[in-house]
């Protein structure tokens, strides 16, 4: 055990929640939690781009973060949705243990690239369909049902389902939810914003994408946040090419967010994706000095999360739902990209 004095902020992959990432290298583990304490601290030592530690604060769900907007509350979960037996599952399914994160980048040959294009195309189509469902009164669980059905109808597996025990097929993150919102009985309200995060596992390859949608009459403040977050994603993609340093992604995003005085969430990152859900590289969305350069035929995600207020994450007791500490709005966009000789190809764009 490492002493608490050695704790530093921890960076997490985009779909890890408070699960510990397990690499192929042995490393010490800290899980400092005392019953009744609102703080959960975890340490992970690993070689992937120097990930450090994050201190999570458990949110008091009785607090109302915004006098003009009711804060999120957990709803009721529906029963587990089945997947037909003939659909191949990722290796981590049915294990509540966090899956290993691959220590090497996802670099593909011709066949792998075509498989990535197929999974990316399906993910994009599912996300676009899910976005058409967003309207006041629809439950996030109904969005999950529709996403689940469309994915399995296309012979694919919904990657989030069973990932470290995650109970649903898609993430639905509303208003102050930064990421990993679990679909439940809560109905969307007029003026909400919602990030829908879709990942599909098709023919042995994952395609990962997300977007933030408007529900009804959304105010200008929220619309601007969403617009700038999407701009950050596309500006970052535009600088990608073989040999480019990964750290330029973070600088590009951070520079643009600063122009509008938005916060950039530092605790969740983009990642390599392909035959495994999460792999190298770790893609930081803020200014950093991490090393590493992009490789030809490599696939990874870029997924900036911006906030109007605090960027400090707070995790609910479900160990997945992550919200802003002050209840301020958060938005996110994500694409899976392929590094080509001419730059970057967006695999998850319809």
Known binding residues for substrate are 180, 278
Using only C-alpha atoms, the chain has a radius of gyration, in whole angstroms, of: 19
* C-beta of residue 218 within 8 angstroms of C-beta of residue 191: yes
Residues 6+ apart with CB under 8 A from 177: 72, 195, 321, 322, 323, 330
In sequence order, what DSSP letters do the residues of 295-349 get, joined into one string?
Answer: -TTBEEEE--EEESS---EEE-TTS--EEETT---EEE-BEEEEEETTEEEETT-
Annotated binding site for a divalent metal cation: 197, 208, 271, 303, 334
Please, how many CA atoms are within 13 Å of residue 143, restricted to the half-sphere of its CB? 34
Alpha helices in 171-292 (DSSP H): 220-238, 247-259
CA dihedral 241, 244, 250, 254 (to 10 degrees): -80
65's enclosing H/E stretch is none
Give the phi and the psi of residue 204 in degrees, each rounded to 5. 85, 10
User: Which single residue is written with the structure tokens 């330029």?
Assistant: 248
Angle formed by the axes of helices 140-153 and 110-132, to 10°?
Answer: 140
* C-beta of residue 301 within 8 angstroms of C-beta of residue 339: no
Q: Rounded to 5 degrees, what angle do the CA atoms 237, 242, 244 make?
A: 65
User: Which single residue is written with the structure tokens 């097929």?
Assistant: 169
Other beta carbons within 10 angstroms of residue 145's beta carbon come to 18
Annotated binding site: 180, 197, 208, 271, 278, 303, 334
- What's the rounded Cα separation, in Å, for the pair 11 and 16? 10
User: Which single residue is written with the structure tokens 């470290």?
Assistant: 164
Please state whether 277 falls in left (phi above 0), alpha (psi between -120 and 50) or beta.
alpha
Q: Which two tokens stand for residue 75?
A: 């709803």
């Amino acid at each position: 055990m490492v002493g608490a004095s050695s704790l530093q902020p921890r960076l997490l992959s985009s779909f890890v929640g408070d699960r510990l990432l397990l690499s192929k290298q042995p490393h010490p583990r800290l899980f400092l939690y005392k019953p009744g304490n609102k703080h959960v601290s975890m340490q992970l030592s690993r070689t992937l781009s120097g990930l450090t530690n994050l201190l999570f604060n458990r949110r008091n769900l009785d607090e109302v973060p915004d006098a003009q907007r009711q804060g999120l509350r957990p709803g009721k979960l529906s029963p587990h949705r089945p997947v037909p037996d003939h659909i191949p599952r990722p290796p981590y399914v049915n294990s509540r243990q966090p899956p290993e994160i691959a220590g090497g980048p996802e670099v593909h040959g011709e066949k792998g690239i075509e498989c990535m294009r197929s999974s990316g195309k399906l993910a994009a189509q599912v996300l676009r369909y899910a976005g058409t469902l967003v309207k006041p009164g629809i439950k996030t669980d109904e969005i999950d049902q529709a996403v689940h059905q469309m994915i399995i109808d296309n012979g694919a597996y919904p990657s989030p389902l069973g990932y470290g025990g995650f109970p649903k097929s898609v993430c639905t993150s509303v208003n102050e939810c930064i990421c990993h919102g679990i679909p439940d009985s809560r109905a969307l309200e007029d003026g909400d914003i919602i990030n829908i995060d879709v990942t599909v596992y098709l023919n042995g390859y994952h395609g990962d994408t997300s977007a933030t949608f408007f529900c009804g009459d959304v105010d200008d403040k929220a619309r601007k946040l969403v617009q700038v977050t999407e701009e950050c994603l596309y500006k970052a993609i535009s600088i990608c090419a073989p040999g480019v340093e990964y750290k330029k992604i973070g600088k590009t995003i951070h520079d643009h967010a600063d122009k509008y005085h938005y916060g950039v969430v530092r605790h969740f990152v983009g990642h390599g994706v392909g035959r495994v859900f999460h792999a190298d590289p770790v893609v930081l969305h803020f200014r950093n000095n991490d090393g590493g350069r992009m490789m030809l035929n490599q696939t990874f995600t870029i997924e900036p999360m911006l906030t109007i207020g605090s960027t400090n994450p707070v995790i609910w007791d479900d160990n997945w739902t992550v919200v802003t500490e002050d209840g301020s709005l958060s938005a996110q966009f994500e694409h899976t990209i392929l590094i080509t000789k001419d730059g970057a190809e967006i695999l998850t764009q319809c």
